Amino acid sequence: ELQALIIPIILFVPVWFRFWAPELLMKWDGRDRCIYIPFHGWDRTYFEENSAKIDQWVVHELAHATWEALGGEHETGGDGNTWRMWDEGFAHFVADEWFREFYPPGTALTEDWSEFRKEGKRKIAALVAEKGDGILAEIPTRWREFEAT
C-alpha cells in the first residue's frame, strides 16, 4: 500500500514543480512582477493549434498586469473567488473583445472558457455597455462596489 502511494507522489511532484510552482513563485513572492504565459499541453500534437492562440493568451496575461497597474488588488482574504472572477473577467474582456480587431490575421480567438470566467467577462461587458469604455480603467479599484449592486 505504501508503494502504491509513493509512485504517484514521485510522478506528481515534478509535474507540479514544472507547471505550477513557477507561476506561484513569480506572482506571489513580492519580487518584481513578470508576465507568465503557461505552456501546458504544448506537445507536438497541439503545437500548431496552440501557436494560433498565443497572441490572445499574451494579451490576456498583459491584461492581468494592467489590472495591477490600475491599482487592482490581488486576492487578499475574504471571498477570493469573487475577486478572481472580476480579475479574470477583466482579462478575458480585454483580450477577447477590447483588442479583438488588432490581432494579426490567422489568430485563433477562443471563447472556450469556464463558466466562472465567462460570468466575469459578462459582468465587465455589462459595465462597459452601461457606463462606456472609460469604466475599464476604474473596474480594478471599484469591482467591490460593482459587485454589491
Q: State how far the alpha carbon of 140 is from the alpha carbons of 24, 57, 65, in Å.
A: 21, 20, 11
pLDDT band at 32; cut points 50, 70, 90:
low
What is the distance between the alpha carbons of residues 112 and 103, in angstroms, rounded to a whole number? 18
Instruction: Tell me which of 74 and 77 has the higher pLDDT.
Output: 74
- From residue 128, give the alpha-carbon distance in Å to each of 4, 62, 77, 94, 122: 53, 19, 27, 11, 10
Q: Is the pLDDT of residue 60 over 70?
A: yes
Q: Are 37 and 59 in contact, with CB atoms under 8 Å apart?
A: no
